[in-house]
């Protein structure tokens, strides 16, 4: 046995590969460089690590059996889905065994009568919506990667999305999970009941645990009836501050639209360059506002939001002409992060979130910081829930510039925390946000988190080095 | 030739920020759900090679052979990664690496890439020979006596699919210069292609007719070099450069308002002569002008304001569906123009094909090098075509045309295939002689 992180002996490795192969069959245990290099990263810039092996299990029992081998041999395990994470949460450890769950993508049980669905962790999030739409239902959380990312990854990261403002995040829809523990035991928490207070709410400990406490293999989700109507509005502004103030005013007026998305000019231009749908690229900021619900409510909310935007200095407010245009606009918005990569070789994405009343201050601060440090930044995000994605456009090969990027990140985190915010709204801590976690939550809370980890994974084999060292 | 991946601008590799947005668009990832068979996985391997963390070996060669090169990932990519460039660089590096390969591979590559597709006269001679073989009864005789059993397995599989050579090549159908009835408003160069010339010269004639009907003076050199697409796609960069130079020696791009291609695969390559000759001072400038003039026929017609046919529909409308050629849709981003054009035809009811821009498996020589994956893609495509109830499938690339012809025939579906431009030419023809089909 070896301690986590140190190099396992060749004998350990070959014995493990043999054991994995016996469980999974040949073709589901990958070890050649060409096979494993493509699993060495997620969607986060400038982070990569070649794993030792990649496992492609097809059921929970096989996952558990493989984890038992790792537990015996002291091999570290990095669970992952589609690898679209944005904080390095699923970047492998050195000598790590990647447990890739994308081949576990079956729909296990669709129960429209109880408004629930049970699926394997590897199911692509968008596929869930496709499966339930025919019964007039939907699964609300919609991270930008929803056509690629898996529900297991979404649960492990507690992903948000464009609709978080009204519908909340992944956590609000998880009713139950099946988890393989660090010791390779299969456990289940939660059920199809709306109410359940039997013991600790263990499922909530695993949601957002980033693969450090257990491997989630099955999920039961809550579904909602599809809203009768929706309407999308586009408002343009001459300053970013005016857009931020509009958002604060809409919330203060007690309107909860389903999305309030913000794009600055840099982001707008990149997105338009990709999507070519005629976005107004000359404005300093664009708000994408969407309301859904009963027809009358939608009409009233749309009217009220338009009036508030105009009162706060919007230069124009336009309504999407139909459902097709609404979908096109949301799709374009989802491409924002990757579209920003057009400008420079490396894109460093932030995920800071503040109480909504403080948005205008943070937006200004980001712009000033970038200017002060002579950096290019594109800012977009879910303004309605106070979640911003300032994205630095840089080049990882330029040491001096990267140093300034880190200075900027430090400054933005400092200001965010001063405003009562969080270092990450929806991307998770992973590797990328690790330096700032203690600063946010304080020594005592940090230690309690470590104790929890120590209790559930005493050998430190599950996704070590993520969240904290 | 220097190592392409190691010496190319590193920013091209870095452009991929591995967000994964390409995954659902990739037919090979869709088939296997393995990262190495995905665009970002392949780019990660290429970057490892450039970083000298991985050597080019059989595994990488197999991977790049498995990639269709359909470029669907380019359409999906918000970051604008130039996958075409990376793909060709990788294949060039693989060809330059001494890997153990069957001798027959060298023979076929030599015959096609260094022989037939390099010398247009030889290619036409070969075409004449094939035409004689197919029509003199020799083919029927050899098939009857079971001669085909003596062929190597791969050839035996392909022989029944060997396409019928056209009645005449393009130079017999199109004069070197043709002028429209009205005073010409545009001067264009028409490229007749290799496969298009051998198999579908009628499409070239139709293209000339449509250009004339839209007041273009059409220049069509009777002997035309291959554009070099097939060479570039198969890792023969130097031969591709040779082909590009031949074209630039043959014509002066500045003499024309547009250079017209009607084959998706050729057009996609033809637009990028600068990336082949950008470092060659004798040709760089001319290549740039060439790239700027190159237009797909649908795109050009849309640009100049294609004249709607005045003929009226007789009888019931024909249901037509459109299959996007990968290199027209993803390589050239031409998707709306062919559909708009079909919608303009009085006797056509256009229905959208599900997954219209998903590769049909033709992909150059893919159906020969990766028969199983190609067949799966073809089956998927044929099922979608069947679901539309269309009796005509429109598509604008000879590779797709052939592949789908074989697929539809094998499935016993009574669907005919036509280039959108052929349908437009027919509609124009009906203006003056309504009885013709």
Q: Which residues of B touch A394 (CB under 8 A)?
A: none
User: Does the beta-carbon distance from B19 to A41 stay under 8 Å?
Assistant: no
The confidence score (pLDDT) of residue B3 equals 87
| Nearest CA-CA distance, residue B11 and chain A, Å | 6
Using a CB-CB distance cutoff of 8 angstroms, which residues of chain A are in contact with residue B57? 34
Q: Taking 50 as the threshold, does the pLDDT of residue A252 lie above it? A: yes
- 3-class SS at B231? helix
Q: Give residue A1's pLDDT.
A: 39
- Dmax over CA atoms of chain A, in Å, equals 71
Q: Which CATH class is domain A10-103?
A: alpha beta
Q: Which CATH number applies to A107-225?
A: 3.30.465.10
> How far apart are the C-alpha atoms of A194 and B48, rounded to whole Å?
50
Q: How far apart are CA B327 and CA B232, in angstroms?
A: 14
Going by the DSSP 8-state scheme, the letter that residue B22 receives in this structure is T
Distance CA B256, CA B236 (A): 29
Which ipTM did the prediction report? 0.95
Residue tagged 């695993």 (tokens):
A206
Residue A267 touches partner B, C-beta closer than 8 Å: no
Q: How far is CA B431 from CA A137, B1, B205, in A?
A: 52, 55, 18
**Partner-chain contact B80 A273, CB within 8 Å:** yes
Report the alpha-carbon distance of residue A464 to residue B344 in Å, rounded: 61
Distance CA B48, CA B63 (A): 14
* pLDDT for residue A297 is more than 50: yes
Q: Note the pLDDT tens digit of each residue in B376-391.
A: 999 999 999 999 999 9
Specify the pLDDT at position A298. 95
Instruction: Report residue B133's pLDDT band, with 50, 70 and 90 as the boundaries.
Output: confident
DSSP 8-state code for residue A414: H
Interface test with A, best of B32, B79, B90, B335 (most A CBs within 10 A): B79
Q: What is the nearest CA distance from A129 to chain B, expressed in angstroms? A: 16
- Of A229, A237, A234, A240, give the one whose Cα is nearest residue A305: A234
Alpha-carbon gap, residue A407 to B200, rounded angstroms = 63
Give the tokens for residue A213.
């406490």
User: B318-432 has which fold?
Assistant: Rossmann fold (3.40.50)
CB–CB contact B48 A37 (8 Å): yes
The fold adopted by the segment(s) B4-96 is Fumarate Reductase Iron-sulfur Protein; Chain B, domain 2 (1.10.1060)
Q: What is the mean pLDDT of residues B179-197?
A: 95
A241 vs B76: CA distance, rounded Å: 33
Instruction: Suggest the residue from A149, A341, A342 to mutate for an interface test with chain B (most B CBs closer than 10 A).
Output: A341
Select the residue of B20, B24, B77 nearest A83 (Cβ to Cβ).
Answer: B20
Chain B hits for A56, CB-CB cut-off 8 Å, are 34
Whole-number average pLDDT of chain A:
95
pLDDT in tens, A303-326: 999 999 999 999 999 999 998 999
Residues 6+ apart with CB under 8 A from A381: A261, A262, A387, A388, A389
Verify whether the Cβ–Cβ distance B17 to A45 is below 8 Å.
Answer: yes
Distance CA A19, CA A59 (A): 16
Measured CA to CA, the distance from residue A148 to residue B261 in angstroms comes to 36
pLDDT tens digits along A265-288: 999 999 999 999 999 999 999 999
* CA–CA separation, A370 and A377 (whole Å): 6
Q: Is the pLDDT of residue B169 over 80?
A: yes
Contacts B35 to A, Cβ<8 Å = 38-39, 83
Note the pLDDT of residue B110.
84
d(CA B284, CA A467): 52
Q: Which of B10, B17, B42 sits opposite A341 (nearest CB)?
A: B17
Neighbours of A39 (CB within 10 A): 28
Cβ distance B85 to B12 under 8 Å?
A: yes
Copy the structure tokens of residue B414: 């009574």
Q: Considering only residues 194 to 253 of chain A, which have any Cβ-Cβ distance to chain B shorter than 8 Å?
A: none
Q: Do A148 and B24 touch (CB under 8 A)?
A: yes
d(CA B84, CA A232): 36
Q: Indicate if the pLDDT at residue A11 is higher than 50.
A: yes
Instruction: Report the C-alpha gap between A17 and A31 in whole angstroms.
Output: 8
| A153 and A81 Cβ atoms separated by less than 8 Å | yes
* Interface mutation target, options B9, B20, B50, B76, chain A, most CBs of A under 10 Å: B20
Listed by number, the residues of chain B in 366-395 with a beta carbon closer than 8 Å to a beta carbon of chain A are none
Q: pLDDT tens for residues A347-356? A: 999 999 999 8
Residue whose entry in the numeric block shows the structure tokens 């005789």? B141
In the structure encoding, which two tokens stand for residue A209, read together?
Answer: 């645990």
Question: Average pLDDT in the A240-262 region?
Answer: 93
**pLDDT for A168:** 95
DSSP state letters, B283-324: THHHHHHHHHHEEEHHHHHHHHTPPPP-----SSPEEEEEPP
How many angstroms away from the CA of A329 is the closest CA of chain B?
Answer: 14
DSSP string computed for B370-419: SHHHHHHHHHHHHHHHHHHT-SEEE---HHHHHHHHHHHHHHT---EEE-
pLDDT at B436 over 50: no
Query: Is the model's pLDDT at A120 over the cut of 80?
Result: yes
Reference B213, options B430, B421, B433, B425; nearest CA is B425
Tell me the HSE value of A49 on the side-chain side, using a 13 A CA sphere. Answer: 20
- Asked if A274 and B44 come within 8 Å (Cβ–Cβ), the reply is no
Q: Which CATH architecture has domain B170-304?
A: 3-Layer(aba) Sandwich (3.40)
Least confident of A137-151, A238-252, B276-290: A238-252
Structure tokens at B223: 């002997």
Asked if A346 lies within 8 A of B17 by C-beta distance, the reply is: yes
CB A420 within 8 A of CB A414: no
Q: Mean pLDDT across the stretch B31-47?
A: 97
For B281, how many CA atoms within 13 A lie in the half-sphere containing its CB?
Answer: 0
Q: Which of B5, B18, B48, B55 to mutate to test the interface with A (most CBs of A within 10 A)?
A: B18
The Cα of B357 is separated from the nearest Cα of chain A by a number of Å equal to: 17
DSSP letter at A290 equals: E
| pLDDT tens digits for range A134-159 | 999 999 999 999 999 999 999 999 99
Using the Cβ of B105 and the Cβ atoms of chain A, whether some distance falls under 8 Å is answered with: no
Integer CA distances (angstroms), B409 to A207, A234, B160, B405, in order = 53, 50, 11, 6
Task: Inform me whether the C-beta atom of residue B82 falls under 8 Å from chain A C-beta atoms.
Answer: no
Strands A229-237 and A314-319, bridge-based pairing: antiparallel
B322: which strand partners? B394
pLDDT value of residue B139: 80
Nearest C-alpha neighbor of A179 from the set A208, A136, A218: A218
Inter-axis angle of helices B336-343 and B297-304, nearest 10:
70
Nearest Cα of chain A lies from the Cα of B185 at a distance, in angstroms, of: 30
Instruction: List the beta strands (DSSP E) in A387-446.
Output: 387-394
So what's the pLDDT on residue A5? Answer: 52
Q: What are phi and psi of B188, to 5 degrees?
A: -125, 155
Residues on chain B touching A102 (C-beta within 8 angstroms): 33
B393 Cβ neighbours under 8 A, 6+ residues apart:
B320, B321, B322, B323, B353, B385, B404, B408, B415, B416, B417, B418
B133-149 exposure pattern, b = at least 16 Cβ within 10 A, e = fewer: eeeeeebeeeeeeeeee
The pLDDT assigned to A7 comes to 86
**Token pair of A9 as six digits:** 């002996």
- Mean pLDDT, rounded, for A169-188: 98
CA distance B432 to A168: 65
Q: Which pLDDT belongs to residue B2?
A: 65
Question: What does the angle CA A398 – CA A404 – CA A406 come to, to the nearest 5 degrees?
Answer: 105
How many CB pairs below 8 Å do chains A and B form together?
100
- Residue A2: pLDDT over 80: no
* Chain A residues in contact with B33 (beta carbon < 8 A): 102-103
| Section A57-80 average pLDDT | 98
**Contact yes or no for B36 and A33 at CB 8 A:** no
Structural domain spans, chain A: 10-103, 107-225, 229-418
Q: Write the DSSP symbol of residue A351.
A: B
Q: What are phi and psi of A109, to 5 degrees?
A: -165, 120
Q: Are A119 and A173 in contact (CB under 8 A)?
A: no
Architecture in CATH for domain A229-418: 3-Layer(aba) Sandwich (3.40)
Cα(A10)–Cα(A18) distance, integer angstroms:
12
Whether residues B77 and A145 touch (CB distance < 8 A) is answered with: no
A33, B79: Cβ pair inside 8 Å? no
Are the C-beta atoms of residues A53 and A101 closer than 8 Å to each other?
no
Give the integer Cα–Cα distance in Å for A219 and A233.
35
Give the separation between CA B421 and CA B341, rounded to whole angstroms. 8
Yes or no, beta carbons of A33 and B21 under 8 Å apart: no
- The segment(s) of chain B belonging to CATH 3.40.50 are 170-304, 318-432
B11 vs A: CB within 8 A = yes
Tell me the C-alpha distance between A142 and B267, whole Å.
Answer: 38
């Amino acid at each position: 046995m070896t301690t986590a992180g140190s190099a396992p002996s060749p004998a350990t490795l070959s014995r493990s590969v043999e054991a994995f192969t016996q469980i999974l069959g040949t073709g589901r245990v990958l070890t050649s460089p060409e096979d494993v290099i493509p699993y060495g990263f997620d969607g986060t810039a400038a982070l990569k690590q070649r794993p030792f092996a990649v496992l492609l299990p097809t059921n929970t029992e096989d996952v558990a059996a493989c984890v038992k081998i790792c537990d015996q041999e002291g091999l570290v395990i990095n669970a992952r889905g589609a690898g679209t994470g944005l904080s390095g949460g699923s970047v492998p450890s050195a000598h790590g065994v990647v447990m890739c769950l994308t081949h576990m993508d079956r729909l296990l049980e669709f129960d429209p009568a109880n408004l629930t669905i049970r699926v394997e962790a590897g199911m692509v999030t968008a596929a869930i919506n496709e499966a339930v739409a025919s019964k007039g239902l939907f699964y609300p959380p919609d991270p930008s990667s929803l056509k690629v990312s898996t529900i297991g990854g979404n649960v492990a990261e507690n992903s948000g999305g464009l609709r978080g403002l009204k519908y909340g995040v992944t956590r609000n829809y998880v009713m139950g999970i099946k988890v393989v523990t660090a010791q390779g035991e299969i456990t289940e928490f939660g059920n199809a009941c709306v109410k359940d207070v039997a013991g600790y709410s263990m499922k909530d400990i695993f949601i957002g645990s980033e693969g450090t406490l257990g491997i989630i293999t099955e999920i039961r989700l809550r579904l909602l009836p599809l809203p009768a109507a929706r309407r999308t509005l586009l408002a343009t502004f001459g300053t970013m501050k005016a857009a931020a103030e509009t958002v604060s005013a809409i919330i203060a007026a007690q309107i909860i639209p389903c999305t309030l998305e913000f794009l600055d000019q840099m982001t707008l231009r990149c997105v338009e360059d990709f999507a070519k749908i005629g976005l107004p690229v000359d404005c300093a900021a664009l708000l994408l506002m969407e309301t859904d619900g009963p027809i009358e409510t939608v009409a009233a909310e749309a009217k009220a939001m338009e009036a508030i935007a105009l009162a706060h200095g919007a230069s124009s407010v336009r309504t999407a002409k139909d459902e097709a245009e609404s979908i096109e606009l949301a799709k374009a918005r989802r491409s924002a992060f990757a579209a920003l990569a057009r400008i420079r070789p490396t894109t460093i994405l932030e995920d800071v979130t503040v109480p909504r009343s403080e948005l205008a201050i943070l937006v200004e601060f980001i712009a000033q910081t970038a200017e002060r440090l002579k950096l290019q930044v594109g800012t977009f995000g879910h303004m309605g829930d106070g979640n911003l994605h300032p994205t630095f456009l840089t080049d990882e090969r330029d040491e001096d510039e990267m140093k300034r990027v880190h200075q900027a990140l430090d400054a933005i985190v400092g200001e965010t925390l001063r405003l009562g915010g969080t270092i990450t709204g929806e991307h998770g801590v992973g590797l990328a946000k690790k330096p700032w976690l203690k600063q946010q939550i304080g020594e005592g809370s940090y230690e309690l988190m470590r104790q929890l980890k120590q209790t559930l994974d005493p050998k430190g084999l599950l996704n070590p080095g993520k969240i904290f060292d | 030739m220097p190592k392409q991946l190691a010496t190319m601008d590193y920013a091209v590799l870095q452009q991929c920020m591995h967000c994964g947005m390409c995954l659902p668009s990739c037919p090979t990832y869709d088939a296997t759900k393995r990262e190495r068979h995905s665009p970002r996985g392949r780019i990660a391997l290429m970057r490892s090679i450039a970083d000298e963390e991985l050597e080019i070996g059989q595994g990488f060669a197999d991977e790049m052979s498995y990639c269709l090169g359909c470029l669907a990932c380019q359409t999906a990519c918000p970051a604008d990664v130039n996958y075409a460039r990376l793909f060709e660089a990788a294949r060039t590096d693989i060809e330059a690496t001494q890997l153990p390969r069957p001798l027959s591979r060298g023979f076929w590559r030599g015959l096609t890439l260094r022989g037939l597709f390099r010398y247009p006269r030889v290619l036409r001679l070969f075409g004449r020979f094939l035409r004689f073989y197919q029509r003199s009864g020799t083919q029927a005789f050899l098939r009857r006596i079971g001669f085909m059993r003596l062929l190597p397995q791969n050839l035996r599989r392909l022989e029944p699919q060997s396409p019928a050579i056209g009645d005449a090549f393009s130079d017999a159908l199109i004069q070197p210069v043709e002028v429209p009835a009205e005073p010409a408003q545009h001067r264009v160069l028409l490229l007749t292609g290799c496969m298009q010339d051998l198999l579908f010269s009628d499409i070239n004639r139709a293209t000339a007719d449509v250009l004339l009907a839209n007041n273009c003076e059409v220049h069509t050199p009777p002997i035309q070099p291959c554009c070099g697409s097939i060479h570039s796609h198969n890792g023969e960069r130097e031969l591709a450069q040779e082909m590009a130079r031949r074209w630039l020696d043959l014509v002066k791009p500045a003499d024309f308002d547009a250079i017209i291609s009607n084959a998706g695969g050729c057009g996609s390559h033809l637009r990028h002569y600068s990336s082949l000759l950008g470092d060659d001072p004798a040709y760089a400038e001319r290549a740039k002008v060439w790239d700027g003039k190159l237009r797909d026929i649908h795109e050009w017609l849309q640009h100049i304001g294609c004249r709607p046919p005045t003929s009226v529909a007789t009888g019931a409308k024909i249901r037509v569906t459109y299959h996007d050629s990968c290199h027209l849709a993803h390589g050239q981003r031409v998707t709306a123009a062919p559909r708009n054009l079909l919608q303009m035809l009085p006797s056509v009811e256009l229905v959208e094909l599900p997954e219209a821009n998903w590769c049909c498996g033709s992909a150059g020589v893919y159906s020969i090098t990766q028969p199983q994956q190609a067949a799966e893609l073809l089956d998927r495509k044929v099922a979608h075509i069947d679901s539309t109830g269309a009796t005509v499938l429109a598509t604008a690339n000879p590779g797709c045309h052939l592949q789908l012809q074989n697929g539809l025939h094998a499935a016993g579906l009574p669907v005919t295939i036509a280039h959108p431009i052929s349908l437009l030419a027919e509609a124009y023809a009906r203006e003056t002689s309504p009885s013709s089909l």
